[in-house]
Homo-oligomer: A and B are copies of this chain.
Amino acid sequence: MAKNLELVFNKIDELANAVAPDFNIINDRLAPAIKITSISSDNTNEGRKHVYAMTDFLETQLKELNASVSRHKLGKQPDTDILLPDVIVANYPETYDKNKKTVLIYGHYDVQPPGDGWATDPWTLQEKDGKLYGRGATDDKGPVLAWLNALQAYQAAKVDVPVNLIFCFEGMEESGSIGFAAFVKDNQALFQHVDAACISDNYWLTTRKPCLTYGLRGINYFKLTIEHPGIQLHSGMFGGCIYEPMTDLVILLSKLVDSQGRILIPGINELVEDVSEAEIEEYATIEFTTQDFQNTIGSEANIYDDPKDTLMHRFRYPSLTIHGITGADPSPDQTTAIYPKVTAKFSIRTVPDMQGDAVTDLTIHYIEEEFRKLQSKNTCHVELFGESAPYWLGKKDDDNFTAGKAATQKVYNTEPDLTREGGSIGVTLDLQNALGDKSIMLLPVGMSDDGAHGPNEKINKENYVKGSKLLGAYWWYFANPEPKYGH
């Protein structure tokens, strides 16, 4: 059986090195995809056309690989007259094979605006020093097309794809996946046979070692407003005589979190799942150094000297960040007003077992209590604001992850690190809601230095090629479980 997988791998190498007129998965698949400026945040009819063009591109590619493609309309984007791009759902084989397990694959085909600072044209794939530069190279066109590369290789090698595949690609991920949650909820029939799902839309923790990702922190986002019902006043005439909202606001904010990042809201830390010695050991084995971290943040402002502690505070401890203040003067000018209504926004990143409601209740109660202690005549109002999301924790020891581990071992000859992400990835929760207790795994193709969202986004050629193998191998091992790796 493993010999068949070798045939697939060989085909991927061939497809990566093919010379025209033969099909090459870089020149004939990734390069034309990069050319399409599918920026989902461009809310103009003209801009959105390029996202639709990318839908067409993927539909064509999938049909050439004999998948049955359906396009799902999401209607107009709220508050605009512009149509949302279709969600593409593609089944391979065309007819469901009840003797095979079924894998759902999620990806997105829209990209971020290019921004400034590019050394090359962001819309022309360019190879330099083994790196393939272009907007979307790693987020998420490269990984999406790697799935197609794998399928093509199976076919070229005449190896039967051992699972039913359902590809689900959306075009609004970089703009908050507008419409996607509702689509998933309304179309659960499409996913009825799914045994497991895989998302390739994140990155290795470093540039040195592959990983599988099994957890995400959640977020509770708050707005805290201090107000007196009066008008903007001159600090010369009124300073010292009235309760100033900004004074109360900074006092309350100072009681939320300390310089070392410890949340000061009573009861919050008690919600966090206890850590075991064994778990700490797991983090200690992950390939990650303080130097890696400092390179990423661009400074030496790390709180923890031990990289294991940094990982734990990203993966499995909560954090609280104050993002900004509205209503005071944000200009650099010398202004002298006392502002009557100031609002701070802050968020708490949540982890197991912090239930969102409990976090909200504790936070609001604490702030109101601290405000009462101030004995101010201003008013204080704190509430949840915008989108909040629960944490997500996958099943890192099930068949899905076992297949991911075996595939990594096969392609990279190393056991992947098991990581979590500190941020939330909305679609993971949308899919988990649709799939109930089915397993979801995040299986990244790119590296920590790929620069998604920034200038000079790239994917290493090696990651693109080996990533195509990795995804194909993942199907293989999900269908054909080996004795658990390492046992």
- A interface list, Cβ under 8 A from B: 217, 219, 221, 228-231, 233-244, 246-248, 250-251, 253-255, 257-261, 293, 297-304, 310, 313-314, 317-326, 328-332, 334-340, 343, 345, 347, 349, 374-378, 385-387, 421-424
Contact = CB atoms under 8 A, between A and B. Distances in A.
A302 B240 contact: no
Contacts of A261: 239-244, 247
Nearest to A317: B240
A254 B260 CA distance: 17
A314 B241 contact: yes
A259 B243 contact: yes
A331 B325 CA distance: 8
A314 B238 contact: yes
B230 A299 contact: yes
A324 to B, nearest CB: 3
A271 to B, nearest CB: 15
Contact of A321 (B314, B338, B343, B422): B338
Contacts of A293: 241
A455 B442 CA distance: 59
Contact of A374 (B219, B259, B298, B310): B259
A293 B293 CA distance: 55
Contact of A240 (B231, B259, B349, B385): B349
Contacts of A347: 235, 239, 336
Contact of A247 (B246, B248, B258): B258
A244 B313 CA distance: 14
Given A323-B336, A329-B323, A331-B324, A377 B240 contact: no
A257 B246 CA distance: 11
Contacts of A376: 259
